[in-house]
Amino acid sequence: MEWLSVAADDPAMCRNAWEDDPRRPYMLSAGRIFDVVAVEQRLGLEVFDQLLRRSLPFGPTILDCKASRVGFFLGSGSQGPFTHFLGQETAEPPDYRYLGSNSVVVVPGPMPMDGDRYQWLRAPSRRPEANPLRAVALATMLVASAELLARADRYSERYRTPYAAVAALPEEAATDAG
């Protein structure tokens, strides 16, 4: 957490706060050491899962349980590459907030517990690198996950129950399935 405390306005005060209470959340300035892309929780958890399952490069990730938001850390100055690759994926990107210069983010302490408002989905192990592959992976999975969730929602609206889906089969397909 040493590198993370450097983002604080007073790094020594941040480290002291975490020594006193390693669960304590702390407000850090974005844009100096890292930027954060924040999305609503449902989408963020799907993006996190997709990045993890596909072994794509990504950095620390936080969850704000009360606000129902997930934040993905990128190296500072990643907004240009992120928005470029997002634009390559879709003309209508999903809702997100980019936290760079003149922004702050509340991060969990180094050792949050289940039930804490702020939690690490993926704790930082070292300072995020200025790696453009992270911006590419995040932009790509953000769009893909939003499309996946939208498709799942349409399916749920169309077929309220599994029986409704089966009932919608043409008769010859229904007899082939049985």
Q: Which residues have a Cβ under 8 Å from the Cβ of 20 and sit 6 or more positions away?
A: none
Contact 124, 130 (CB under 8 A): no
Note the pLDDT tens digit of each residue in 123-143: 887 665 667 799 999 999 999
pLDDT of residue 173: 56
| Coil/strand/helix, residue 98 | strand
pLDDT of residue 128: 58
Q: Which two tokens stand for residue 3?
A: 């590198």
pLDDT of residue 37: 98
For the chain, the 3-state helix, strand and coil shares in percent, each to the nearest 5, are: 45, 20, 35
* C-alpha span between 87 and 89 (Å, rounded): 5
What is the residue-level pLDDT of the chain in tens, covering all 178 positions? Answer: 677 888 888 999 999 999 999 999 999 999 988 999 999 999 999 999 999 999 999 999 999 999 999 999 999 999 999 999 999 999 999 999 999 999 999 999 989 898 999 999 998 876 656 677 999 999 999 999 999 999 988 887 777 777 777 777 787 655 555 5
pLDDT of residue 2: 77
Contact 108, 120 (CB under 8 A): yes
Residue 22: burial class (beta carbons within 10 Å; 0-12, 13-18, 19+) = middle
pLDDT of residue 177: 53
Residue 66: burial class (beta carbons within 10 Å; 0-12, 13-18, 19+) = exposed
* C-alpha span between 167 and 158 (Å, rounded): 12
Contact 98, 157 (CB under 8 A): no
